[in-house]
Structure 1
Amino acid sequence: MKQAMTPEEIKEQKPYLDWSLSEAEYDYIRTQLLGRLPNYTETGLFAAMWSEHCSYKKSKSVLRLFPNKNERVLQGPGEGAGVVDIDDGQAVVFKAESHNHPTTVEPYQGAATGIGGILRDIFSMGARPIASLDSLHFGELTDPLMRMKVEATVRGIGDYGNCMGIPTVAGEITFDSCYQGNLLCNAMSVGLMDQKDIQQGRAAGIGNAVMYVGAKTGRDGIHGATFASTDFSDENETQRSAVQVGDPFMEKLLLEACLDLITKHPAWLVGIQDMGAAGIVSSSAEMASEGKSGMELNLDLVPQREPHMSAYEIMLSESQERMLLCVKKGNEEDVKKIFDLYGLEAVTIGRITAGHDYVLFHDGEEVCHLPVASLTDDVLEEESMERKPARIEEAEKQSAWEPHITNIESTLADLLQQPTIADKASLYWQYDSQVRTNTVVGPGSDAGVIRIRGTKKGLAMTTDGNGRFVYLNPEVGGQMALVEAAANIIASGAQPLAITDCLNYGDPNDPEIFWELHQSVQGMADACREFNTPVISGNVSLYNENNGRAIHPTPMVGMVGLIKNIDRVIPSFVQHPSDKVYLVGKTRDDFAGSELQKMMIGGISGVVKPFDLSHTHDYMKRLLAVMETGHVASAHDLSEGGLGVALAEMLFHTDLGLDLTLPMINADQFFSESPGRFVVTVPERAMAEFEATLAGDAVLIGEVTNSHWLEAKLANGEVNANVCELQKKWEEAIPCQLKLKD
C-alpha cells in the first residue's frame, strides 16, 4: 500500500513533532535502534508508545520512589491493575486512570470512556468489577461553560456505570479556578476475584494465536495517548477526533464473555490485555514484550467499522470495548464460540513467532518490522531540570495568614455553601450506588463500603486529592493526600491495604513543575511506607495546562481497606443521644490552602506546615483497634472546613444535635485544616476503654443530644446553630449555582 509519506519525506517534513516525538528521539530510533528510516506507520507506533502516557519517560525516575510490595501484594505495577490478598483465597483488584484531556474537550464521552477503560483493566486481570469511584476537579461554577462541563461529565460517568450495572459508591468533587481550562477526571474501579484466576497481559508460545475480541475498530481516539502527552491550549480545545466513543452495553457483553473464558476455560488462555491507550499497538507490543516473544499481525483481519482504514489508523485507533487475547493454538474456535454467544467479534489476527520481532501486514504488504523491545523497553528516559518555585521561597519568608473570625455561625454557614464542601447529592444521585445490592455505605460518607458475599468481610474505598496543599508545599501536601485517604478508610472501620494513584501535574519540562512532582511523590512515598500501603497501580497525567497555565499539582490517592467484620462498619453520622464526643488528633493554626482562606481572600497563600507522620499513624492504628472492638458508635475525619464543617456534617440527615465545650479551640481554629483528625462518638459504657487506648490523643469535648442544634462553647466565642437551617444551605448551594442565569 502507499504510505501517507515516504520515509524520506518524514525525515524532511518531521510530522512526528506533532505526535509528541522529539527530533532527538526520532534520530535515535533511526540511527541506533533501526539503522534505517522508519516508515509512516512505524513512526506513528513509536510516537504513541514513546509518549509520556504510555512510557512514563519523564516520570519513571520519581515513580521508583514508591514502595510497591508488602506481605499482601500479589501483583504490583506493570499489569492491568494491582492485586491484593484479602484472605480466604480471595483478592481485591483495583486501579485508577486519568481521562483529563478527553473530558475537557468532550465531557460526556471523555468521562464515559474513562469509566469503560478502567473497568476493562479490572476484568482483564480476571476480576469482576464490584464498584466504581471518581475524583473530579472542575473550575468555578460561576463560568457557564464549566457548569455545562460539570453536568456532562457527571452524566457520562453515570450513564456508563449504570448501564454496566456497577455501583458508583464514593468519590470526590472539588472546584478551583486552576482547573478552568483543564479539568481532571480520574476514574477508579475495584474488583473481586479468587486468587487462582489471576491473569497477565502476556503473549508467549510459538504458534499461539493473537485474538481480537469485542467491538469493531473505527477512527475515533487516534493518537489519544499523544493527545494526553502534550500541553493543552485553545487550539486543541476542539480536538474531538482524539476522544473515544463508548458503548457500555457492548462492554457489559465483553466483560461477561471474558470472565466466562477466564473462570471456566483457563487452560485455553495464555494472556489477556485491554486495548487502552495507543490501541492495538500498545496491547500487542506490551504482551509480546512481557512474554519475551515475537509477533506477526495481519491487519486485514482486524474487524473495522469504517472503510479504507490505513495500517496507521488501525494500529493507533483507541476505539473502545476491545481486548486482545493470546490463545493456545487449537483453541481458537472454542474461544470464538464463547464470544459468539454474546454477539461479539472474536478473530485470530496473528500468531506468536520465534525471535523478538514485531511484524505487521496490511493489504498484502509488510508495513512494519521492528524489534519488540524498541517499542516497549528502549524508550529514552528524559532527565528533567528541577527548581524550587520562587513563590514558595517567597512564602517561607512571610508571616502566616490569620483569618480573624468575628461571626462563627455565619462563617460556618458560608463555608457549607462553598462548592467543594457543599452537598454533592444533586450530582451523584445520577449514579446507581445500590446495583448488585452489596453496597453497605454509598456516596456521601467518608468511604464507600461493599460487602463480600458469603463472608463477614467488607471493603472500604475512597479517592482523595487536594491540589492546594501540594501547590503550597509539595512534600507535605503529598503526605497529607495519603493521610486523608487513610483517615477516610479508618473512619469506616477498615484497615488500609494499598493505594492506586493518578498523578496530575502540568508540563514536566518546566523545572518548577517537575520539582513539584518529585517532592510530592517523595512525600507520598514516605507516607506509604509509614502506613504500609504500597502503590500497586496507577498512572501519571502530565501536561495538564491550558494556554501555559498549569493546574495545581494534584496527586489523587485511591485507597482500599479491609473490614474484618461487616457488622462493625462505622457510620459517619452521630447515632445515639448521650453518646460522648471526642476530638482525636492535634488542632493547630493550619490555614494555608484551606477552604476558609480561599473563601475569605479569594485565593491561597502561605506554607503548609509539616506534621508528625509517625505519631499520626500511631494513634490512627489505636483508633482502628478500638473500633474493631465495637466501642465506637460513629466517626468522621476532618478535612475541608475543619472541625466546624465536620460537626455539622455528622448531624445532617439525623434528628440529633451536639452540646460541646472546646476551651482549647478558638474561633479561627474551629475551621483549621490540621491533618489526621477525627470526631468520634462513643457509648458511655465504652468511655474508659476508649480513653485508655487513645490516651492523650483524644479529648472529650461533649455529647450527642436530642436537640438538633449544634452548640459549642469555644475559647473565644459560642456556636448556637440550627442544624435544619445549616443543612438547607448545604444542600441547596450546588443546585442553585448550576441554575445560575448568564
Structure 2
Amino acid sequence: MNQPLENISEILKNHKLDQNDYEQIKQILHREPNLLEIAIFSAMWSEHCSYKSSKKYLKGFPTTAPYVIVGPGENAGVIDIGDGYAAVFKIESHNHPSFIEPRAGAATGVGGIMRDIFTMGARPVANLNSIRFGEIYRDDEIGKKHKYLLRGVVDGIASYGNCMGVPTIGGETSFEACYNGNILVNAFTLGIVKNEEIFYGRAEGIGNPVIYVGSKTGADGLGGAVMSSDSFNEDSKSLRPTVQIGDPFTEKLLLEACLELFEKKLIVGIQDMGAAGLSSSSFEMAGRSGSGMIMHLDKVPVREEGLGPYELMLSESQERMLICAKKGFEKEVMEIFQKWELDVEIIGEVTDTGNMELFWNGEKCAQIPIEALSENAPILDRPISKPKYLNEINKNEYKRNTFSQQEIFKKLLSSLDISDKSWIYSQYDSTVQTNTIVSSGQTDASVIRIKENGTSLAMNVNCPVRYCYLDPKQGSAIAVATAGRNCVTRGAKPLAISDCLNFGNPQNPEVMWQFKEATDGIKEAAQILQTPVISGNVSLYNQTDSVDIYPTPTIVSVGLIQKGYTPITSGLKEKGNLLVLLGEIREDFGGSVVQKIIYNTCEGKPPKIDLEKEKHLWELMKDNFDSKIIKSAKDIGKGGLSIALAKMALLGNMGIEIKTAFNSSDGVQKDMIFSESQSCIVVEINPEDLTLLQKNCKKYQIPCSVLGKVGNKNGDICIDSIAMSMSEAKKLFFDSFCEIVKLS
C-alpha cells in the first residue's frame, strides 16, 4: 500500500493538485499517499465535490421555514405540502459533459438529478431544464456547432426523461455569444414522498452491510468530477471518455426497485453514485454519520476487464447506488434487486474506526480518515475584483431608436429570445403520469396536480443572464423574484427555491466578484420574499480559451396551490373582459431584449427591483386569486408589456385593443411598451370586478391601470400604434424559431 511514487509532480498535475495539497494529504495520513489515495483526495477536493471556491459565499443563505423538512446538505431539499406529503426537489448542472458529448451529457444529467430525488424516497413526477447555447443563427462553424449541440442536448433530455416515464413540463432556452465555448445544461426534478418515508444518505450502525446496487461499473465517466472542475481549451475533445453513458431503462428498474425497498424498511441509508462515483457516495454516507467503512473493491460488479481499485473508486458509470442495509436483512435486500434484474453485491460494512479502508483481493490498498478528508478540504479565499467592463457599459444609456413600434414588435415577436420553442418542448413527453395541468408553451410557471393530497404545485426556472452581466446582485435578485412571480401568476404561493450557480473561472478575480454579488442578491431576495434555498449546485470553470460565460445563477421556484383552487393560465378567456396592469412601467432598457435586437449590445443598468413591493404584489395576487376575479395573468418579462399582451392574445386566440399612456412622440416614451420593468403583472378580469381589484390594489399600494379590453372587430392585436392580424402574429411567434435556426 505504501510503495513510493515516482514523478510525484507529474502525478499531482494530472490530478489537479498542488504541492500544498500534497503536504496537507501527508499530514492527514501521517505518511506518503499512494496513487489511489491521491486520486480519491483529488476527486473529493475537486471544485465539483468540495465547493472550495464557493463555500464561503454560500453561507448565510436562508434555508429554513416552518414547512422546510430538509435543507441543503442532503441529496435534495424537501418541503411539506400538506396532509402528510412532501415535495423533494433540486437542480444541478451537467455543462461540461454536454459540451463534449451533448446527447450523453444531457441524458446523464437528467438521470443523475432523478436519482438524487428517488434516493430520498420520492417518486419523480416532474422535470424542468434550463439550456443555453451560443450564436446558433450564424452561418459558420460556430452556428453549425451549436445546431449540433442543441439537437444533441434536446435528444438527450427527451430520451432519458421519456423512457423513465417522468414528464418534462417546462424550461427555458437562451442564446448568447458568451456561451459559444461553453453551453449550459441545468436539469431539475421534483418528486413526491410521504413525510415519514424520507430516506437519507447515511451509513451508520457498526456491522451494517454496505451494498452496491444497479448497473455494473465501467470506465466511462472516469475522472468526471475533476474534469468538471477545469476550463476548456483546444485539447478538450480528448475528454470524451470522461462523459458518462446512461441507460434510462436500467434506471427505471432501479427506481422501482428502490421504491419497493423503501416500503419494506430494510435499510439505514442510501446514496447515489454521482460525481466521483464510489468515492463520493461512500465518504459522504460515512461522513454524515461519523462512521468508518470497509469496502472490498474486488467484489464490485464490473462490465469490462482490467479495472482496478483506481478505476472503481473514480468511475462515474451511471445507474448505481450505495446502500447501508440493516444487519440481518441482506437476503431480503438482494432479492428485491435480483427480481428487478439489477446487479447487487455486499461489498463492505460500517465500522467505528472513522476510516475508509479499501481492500483488493484481501490486501488493504488504501486507508483514509473520513472526517479529516472532509474537514481539511481546501476552502479558498480567492481574490475578488469588480470587472473593468462595468465601468464603461454601466454608464451607457438607452438610445432613442428610429424604428416604429410596429417594426420593433415584429422583430421581438420573431426573435430567438421570444419566439415559441415548440421544436424543443414538443420532443418531451409532458403528459405521462396524467398529472400535468399547465406545461411548456403556456408561458410562466408549469403546474402539476398532486393527486395524493388534492393540491397542485407550480414551478418555474429562470435566470435573466443579461441583467446578471450588468449587475450580478440585482440580476440574481430578479431571478429569484421572477421565478416566484411566475408561480404567483398561476395562483401559487412560492415556498422555496433551488439554485444552480453557473460561473466562469474562479481563478479570475472578476468572476469571483460576480459570484459574491450574485449570492448576495439571492440571499437578500430569498430572505425578503420568504423563499428559502433548500438545495442547489455550483458549476465553475465555465470558460473556454479565457472567455468566461455571463454570470448565470439559475433559479427554480416551487409554489403551492391549495386544494379546491384551479390554476390561472395566461391565455385570454372572454371578449369584453378588461386587461389591467398591476405595477408601474418605468424606463428599464438595460440588458433588455429590445436593446439586444435593435442595437446588438448589452449595456446600461438592469431594471431595479424593490423586493418589498414585489412581496406586496404577491400578496395582492393571492387576494385576487382567493376572490376568484382573475381570469388570466401574465407577468412583464422579455420584450416588456407588448410581448406579455401579445402572448396572452396568442394563447387565447383572441384579439386585443390596447391604448397605453405611453403613446408619445418622444423617442424614449415611444418604447415604454418594450420596457422590462419588474414587479408588473397583466391580469384579465370581468368589468364588474374592477372595483374590487382597485380596492385590493389600494390595500397593497400597487398601481392599477386599465389598459384596454379583450377582443376587437377584426380579431387583431392592437397595442398603441401596433396593429397586426392574428394570423401574422401566429406565424411570427410560432414559426420563426425553426426558420432562424434552420431546424427541420
Q: Which residue of 2 aligns with 1:709?
A: 716
CA distance in 2, matches of 1:488, 1:653: 16
CA distance in 1, matches of 2:7, 2:63: 41
Q: Deviations over 1:379-428 (max 9, x none)?
A: 020111111111112334x3412242531112111111211211100111
Helix, strand or coil at the partner of 1:423: coil
Q: Deviations over 1:234-286 (max 9, x none)?
A: 21134111100000000000000001111x211x2100110000000100000
Q: Which residue of 1 aligns with 2:61?
A: 66
CA distance in 2, matches of 1:609, 1:343: 55
8 Å Cα contact 1:79/1:200 also seen in 2:
yes
Tell me whether 1:50 sits opposite 2:45 in the alignment: yes
Tell me whether 1:538 sits opposite 2:545 in the alignment: no
Q: Deviations over 1:344-363 (max 9, x none)?
A: 11110000112201000113
Helix, strand or coil at the partner of 1:21: coil
Change (3 A) 1:605 1:269: same
Q: Which runs of 5+ in 1 are unaligned?
A: none
Q: Which residue of 2 aligns with 1:232?
A: 232
Helix, strand or coil at the partner of 1:239: helix
CA distance in 1, matches of 2:6, 2:704: 71
Structure 2 letter corresponding to 1:705:
G
Distance apart, 1:740 and its partner CA: 6.9
8 Å Cα contact 1:651/1:708 also seen in 2:
no
Q: Which residue of 1 aligns with 2:666?
A: none
CA distance in 2, matches of 1:403, 1:140: 26
Tell me whether 1:212 sits opposite 2:212 in the alignment: yes
- RMSD across aligned C-alpha pairs, in angstroms? 1.5
Q: Which residue of 2 aligns with 1:684?
A: 687
Tell me whether 1:222 sits opposite 2:222 in the alignment: yes
Moved more, 725-734 or 182-191: 725-734
Q: Which residue of 1 aligns with 2:623?
A: 625
CA distance in 1, matches of 2:544, 2:175: 16
Helix, strand or coil at the partner of 2:207: coil
Distance apart, 1:603 and its partner CA: 2.2
TM-score (norm 1): 0.96
CA distance in 2, matches of 1:504, 1:163: 28
Moved more, 584-593 or 732-741: 732-741
Structure 2 letter corresponding to 1:81:
A
Query: Which of the residues 693, 696, 712 maps onto 2:696?
Result: 693
Change (3 A) 1:10 1:124: farther
Tell me whether 1:322 sits opposite 2:320 in the alignment: yes
Q: Deviations over 1:89-135 (max 9, x none)?
A: 11000000000000000000000000000000000000000000000
8 Å Cα contact 2:46/2:229 also seen in 1:
yes
8 Å Cα contact 2:94/2:109 also seen in 1:
yes
Distance apart, 1:170 and its partner CA: 0.8
Helix, strand or coil at the partner of 1:632: coil
8 Å Cα contact 1:356/1:371 also seen in 2:
yes
Helix, strand or coil at the partner of 2:588: coil
8 Å Cα contact 1:403/1:597 also seen in 2:
no
Change (3 A) 1:361 1:410: same
Structure 1 letter corresponding to 2:280:
S
Structure 1 letter corresponding to 2:11:
P
Q: Which residue of 2 aligns with 1:675?
A: 678
CA distance in 1, matches of 2:72, 2:657: 48
Helix, strand or coil at the partner of 1:108: helix
Q: Which runs of 5+ in 2 are unaligned?
A: 664-668
Change (3 A) 1:622 1:373: same
Q: Deviations over 1:429-481 (max 9, x none)?
A: 00000001000001112111000114331000111012111110111111111
CA distance in 2, matches of 1:403, 1:586: 21
Structure 1 letter corresponding to 2:551:
P
Tell me whether 1:400 sits opposite 2:397 in the alignment: yes
Change (3 A) 1:152 1:654: same
Distance apart, 1:736 and its partner CA: 1.4
Query: Which of the residues 718, 725, 729 maps onto 2:728?
Result: 725
What percentage of aligned pairs have identical amino acids?
A: 41
CA distance in 1, matches of 2:39, 2:623: 55
Structure 2 letter corresponding to 1:26:
Y
Helix, strand or coil at the partner of 2:670: coil
Distance apart, 1:676 and its partner CA: 2.0
8 Å Cα contact 1:623/1:694 also seen in 2:
no
Q: Deviations over 1:3-53 (max 9, x none)?
A: 9xx543153x332223222221122111x2122111000000000000011
Distance apart, 1:190 and its partner CA: 0.4
CA distance in 1, matches of 2:605, 2:569: 34
Query: Which of the residues 605, 610, 614 maps onto 1:616?
Result: 614
Tell me whether 1:434 sits opposite 2:440 in the alignment: no
Distance apart, 1:685 and its partner CA: 2.6
Q: Which residue of 1 aligns with 2:118?
A: 123
Change (3 A) 1:355 1:493: same
Q: Deviations over 1:179-231 (max 9, x none)?
A: 01100000000001100001110000110000000000000001111111111
Q: Which residue of 2 aligns with 1:298?
A: 296
Tell me whether 1:75 sits opposite 2:70 in the alignment: yes
Tell me whether 1:153 sits opposite 2:157 in the alignment: no
Alignment of 1:512-591 (within 5 A): 512-565=510-563, 567-591=565-589
Distance apart, 1:566 and its partner CA: 5.6
Q: Deviations over 1:643-682 (max 9, x none)?
A: 1111111111433111112014632111111122111111
Tell me whether 1:93 sits opposite 2:78 in the alignment: no
TM-score (norm 2): 0.96
8 Å Cα contact 1:168/1:432 also seen in 2:
yes
CA distance in 2, matches of 1:627, 1:400: 38
Structure 1 letter corresponding to 2:711:
T
Q: Deviations over 1:672-730 (max 9, x none)?
A: 111221111111232211111113422111110154211123xxxx1111122012011
Tell me whether 1:25 sits opposite 2:32 in the alignment: no
8 Å Cα contact 2:85/2:453 also seen in 1:
no
Q: How many residues align?
A: 729
Structure 1 letter corresponding to 2:435:
N
8 Å Cα contact 1:458/1:566 also seen in 2:
no
Change (3 A) 1:91 1:403: farther
Structure 2 letter corresponding to 1:50:
W
Q: Which residue of 2 aligns with 1:260?
A: 260
Tell me whether 1:186 sits opposite 2:204 in the alignment: no
Change (3 A) 1:84 1:722: same
CA distance in 1, matches of 2:129, 2:49: 22
8 Å Cα contact 2:290/2:371 also seen in 1:
no
CA distance in 2, matches of 1:319, 1:598: 42
Change (3 A) 1:9 1:175: same
Change (3 A) 1:10 1:34: farther
8 Å Cα contact 2:589/2:607 also seen in 1:
no
Change (3 A) 1:546 1:286: same
Q: Which residue of 2 aligns with 1:380?
A: 378
Helix, strand or coil at the partner of 2:5: helix
Q: Which residue of 2 aligns with 1:277?
A: 275
CA distance in 1, matches of 2:40, 2:270: 21
CA distance in 2, matches of 1:664, 1:568: 34
Query: Which of the residues 602, 605, 608 maps onto 1:604?
Result: 602
CA distance in 1, matches of 2:488, 2:679: 11
Helix, strand or coil at the partner of 1:382: coil
Distance apart, 1:610 and its partner CA: 3.0
Distance apart, 1:516 and its partner CA: 0.3
Change (3 A) 1:740 1:322: closer
Moved more, 217-226 or 455-464: 455-464
Q: Which residue of 1 aligns with 2:104?
A: 109
Structure 2 letter corresponding to 1:22:
D
CA distance in 1, matches of 2:739, 2:403: 27
